[in-house]
Amino acid sequence: MRHLNISKDADGVATITLDNADAPMNIISLDFVADMEEAIASVTADADVTGVILTSAKSAFMAGADLKYMVNAYDGMTKREHLGFSQKVSGMLRSIERSGKPWVAIIDGLALGGGLELALACHRRIATDNPGTAVGLPEVNVGLLPGAGGTQRLLRIAGVKAALDLLLSGRQIDAEEALSLGIVDEIAPAGDAAAKAKAWLATNPDPVKPWDVKRAKAPQPLGILVPSDAADYSMAAAMVAKKAGYNQPAAAAILKTVYEGAQLPIDKALSVESKYFAQLLGSPVARNIMRTSFISRKAAEKGARRPAGVPKSKVSKVGVLGAGMMGAGIAYVSAKAGIEVVLIDRDVPAAEKGRQYSAKVTQKLIAKGAMSQDKADAILGRITATDDFALLEGCDLIVEAVFEDLAIKAETTAKAEAVIPETAVFGSNTSTLPISELAKASKRPDQFIGIHFFSPVDRMSLVEVIMGQQTSAETLAKALDYVAQLRKTPIVVNDSRGFYTSRVFQTMIHEGAAMLGEGVPPAVIENAAKSIGMPVGPLVLLDELSFDLPLMIVDQAIEQEGDKYLVPAGVQTLRRMRDEIGRGGRKSGGGFYEYNEDGTKQLWKGLAEHFPVKGDWNIDDLKARFLYTQAVETVRCLEERVLETREDADLGSVYGWGFPLWTGGTISYIDTVGVPAFVREADRLAQLYGPRFSAPKMLRDMASEGKQFYPAGEAEEAVAQDRAELASS
C-alpha cells in the first residue's frame, strides 16, 4: 500500500499509519480510498484485532482532498461520477463506524477537510498539544462542502450552531476549542497519545456511534413547527448573503445540507450530503475557485514562471528607495522575511516615518496575539531608515518606490547604481510607467526589472513582475526568488503602458464613471459592481485614487499614441467632476462621495443635480459591462503578448484588483460563459455601449475553431484512470 502501513501488537491493537509515498502530505484520493478500504476490511475480518489506532507519519494528520483531481472532475467526469466519488469516500468512512471494532484517531498537526472527516468517523479522537494541531472543514473556501460525512457528523457532535459556524466560515480551530465542542475527546502530549489511545481501547469500549444505536433519533426530528435552532439557521442565512452574495453556491448548499440532514437518519442524511456535494463539484464555480486559488497559485509560488537553468539566489540585503506608503510596506515584508533593509527617503525624518509603519503593523499583531514582542523587535531592527545612499553598498536588490515621474526615478536610479554592486538587480515598483523607458537611466538595463507590489503590501499577496525589453532571464529569476522569499504570489508580464493589472483595472473604474455620465443612479452603479463580487464599487475606488491619476494616465497615452488610443468612456465624467465641478476625489476634499469627520462617507448629494437619472437602465447589462470590459481587455493583453499565460491572467485579476473569485479570473470567466457565447454578448454590448466591448480577433478565431483557454481535454485525460476505477466500483 502506497498510502498507509498496518501493524499489529500482541495486545490485539492494530495501528494504521497514514504515510503517502507520493507526496509530502496525506490527501484523499481514490488510490488512498482503495488502500483504506483494504485496511478496514483486513482489521474488521481479523478476530485477533481488538481495536485500531489511526495515526500519521507526516507532520500533519491529513490535509484534505486532492484538489487537482477535484478541479479536473468538472470537465473530466459526469454528474453521476461526481455523486459516485462522494458516495465512495463516505461509504469507506461508514465502514469504519460499522466495523465492530473501536477506532481511535490521533490528530497531531493539521486535520482538514477529508482529514477531519476521517477522524470524525473514528470512535474517539485524541489531539496532541502540538501548537500546530488544528482541525477544520474549509471546503466552503473552494466552492464545495464536506462530501464524506463532515456536515452530518459535525452537527450531531457539536450541534447546529457550532457546525454552521465552522462549515460556513471554513476556519481552523485549535485543540482546546475542538475539545470544548466535542470534536476531539482528549488532548495529550504527542509522546503520550498512543498510550492514551491504548488505555482507552483496553476499557473495551462500545464501538457503536450514537447515531447508529437502535431507534436513534435525528438531531431535529420531522414534525416540529418551530425548531429550537430556527434562529441559528436564520442568522446563518443572513451571514451567507452578506459574505458570499449570490454568486457562490457552496454556503447556501451547506445550509440546506445541514437543515435537511438534521431531520434524517444518518445514512439518508449522508445521501443528502452527497447529492449537494455532487451539485457543487459539477459547478464551474468550484472548478474556477480551486483552479485559480490553489492549483495555479501554488504553481506560481513554486516557480512556474522561473527561467530554467538559473541557479537559485537569495536576497540578504535590499535597498528600498522611497519611504511612502508603498516603500514602507515593502520594507516591512522584506524585514519580516529576514532580509536586512535600507529604507531611503529625502531626509531621515521621512525615512523614519516609513520605518514606523512596521512598528504600527507589528504592534497590532502583538495585540492580537499573532506576534511576539521579540519577533517585532527583530523586524524593526533589520530596517535602517536613512537619507544616505552610501548605505546601499552591498545590497543584492533595489526596489525603487518613489513618485511616478520619469525624471525623479531616473535621478534615483543613477544615485543608487553609483553605490550598489554590479551584480545587484534594480527593480522599480512603478504601476504604469514603461520599464524599458525607466531602464534607459540604468547602466545595466539587462538587470532592470519591474517589481509591482499592491497596497497595502503586508496584506496583498500578488506581485506583478514586469520584463523590460532588455531584462535578462537571470534578472527575472532573481526577482522571482525575492518574491518567493517574501512568500508572495508572482505573475510575469511584458512591458507596456499600465502592464496588465493597472491597464485592466482602469477599465472597471472608467466603466463606472461612464455609467454615471449616462444617467445611471450612483448607488445602483456601486451595488451592481458589488453584486457581481467586486469588493467595492468603482466610484469609491476613483475617489480613493483621486481623479488626477487616471486622467494623467489617459493624457500621457493620448500624447504618445494620438488617434490610435481608445479613450476610456469615463474620461468625460472625470474631467467634468474635477475641472468644472471642482471635486477631484477624497484627497481634494471629496469626489463622488462626501466624507465626515467621524470617518463615515456617503454619496455626494450634488451628483443628482449634475448627473440626473435618465431613462431606463438594465441591471443585468450593468453587471455584464463590469465583467466584460475587464475580460475583453485581458484578452487584448494576451493578444499583444503583454500576458503570456492564462494562469497569470487569472491570478492577476483575482489577487491584483479583486476580480470576483467565483469566476476564477478574467480568462476563466470567458471559458465559463463559453467563448462563442462570450463573443456574441461582447458584440451586443459593443453595439449598445461602444467599441471597447468588441471581441478581439483572438476570441473570434477561438470561437470559430471551437477552442477555449482551458481545454476540457486536459481534464478528461487527467481523470481517465480514476473514471475507470469509479465505474468498476
Task: Name the residue type at position 118.
Answer: L
Terminal alpha carbon distance of the chain:
19
Burial 274-310 (b: 16+ CB within 10 A, else e): bbbbbbbbbbbbbbbbbbbbbbbbeebbebbbbeeeb
Who's near 449: CB < 8 A, 6+ residues apart? 425, 426, 427, 428, 435, 465, 466, 467, 468, 471, 475, 476, 479
Is domain 4-282 annotated with CATH 3.40.50.2000? Answer: no
Record the pTM.
Answer: 0.92
Per-residue confidence band for 728, with pLDDT thresholds at 50, 70 and 90: low
Task: Name the residue type at position 684.
Answer: R
Residue 163, pLDDT above cutoff 70: yes
Give the pLDDT mean for 174-187.
96
Q: What cell does 635 get?
A: 484578452
How far is residue 654's CA from residue 501's CA, in Å, rounded to a whole number? 10
| Under 8 Å between Cβ of 402 and 417 | no
pLDDT for res 605: 95
Please report, rounded to a whole number, the percentage of residues in the chain having pLDDT higher than 70. 96
Beta strand segments in 362-424, E: 383-386, 397-400
pLDDT for res 104: 98
Spatial CA neighbour of 104 closest among 122, 118, 129 = 122
| Under 8 Å between Cβ of 531 and 245 | yes
pLDDT for res 237: 74
Residue 721, pLDDT above cutoff 70: no
* Residues taking part in catalysis: 452
How far is residue 339's CA from residue 486's CA, in Å, rounded to a whole number? 9
Per-residue confidence band for 729, with pLDDT thresholds at 50, 70 and 90: low
pLDDT tens digits, 568-588 = 999 999 999 999 999 999 999
DSSP summary character for residue 436: H
Q: What cell does 228 get?
A: 429550537
Residue 723, pLDDT above cutoff 60: no
The overall average pLDDT reported for the chain is 93
Judging by beta carbons within 10 Å of its beta carbon (0-12, 13-18, 19+), is residue 545 exposed, middle or buried? middle
DSSP string, 22-47: TSSS-EE-HHHHHHHHHHHHHHHH-T
Q: Which fold has domain 502-705?
A: N-(1-d-carboxylethyl)-l-norvaline Dehydrogenase; domain 2 (1.10.1040)
pLDDT tens digits, 657-711 = 999 999 999 999 999 999 999 999 999 999 999 999 999 999 999 999 999 999 8
Please report, rounded to a whole number, the percentage of residues in the chain having pLDDT higher than 90. 83
pLDDT for res 725: 56
Per-residue confidence band for 221, with pLDDT thresholds at 50, 70 and 90: low
Task: Name the residue type at position 588.
Answer: S
Give the pLDDT mean for 62-68.
88
pLDDT for res 244: 67
Highest mean pLDDT among 542-551, 557-566, 641-650: 641-650
DSSP summary character for residue 307: P
pLDDT for res 222: 59
Query: What are the extents of the domains in the chain?
Result: 4-282, 317-495, 502-705
Residue 717, pLDDT above cutoff 80: no
pLDDT tens digits, 276-334 = 999 999 999 999 999 999 999 999 999 999 999 999 999 999 999 999 999 999 999 99
Q: Which fold has domain 317-495?
A: Rossmann fold (3.40.50)
pLDDT for res 170: 93
Per-residue confidence band for 714, with pLDDT thresholds at 50, 70 and 90: confident
Give the pLDDT mean for 437-459.
96
pLDDT for res 64: 86
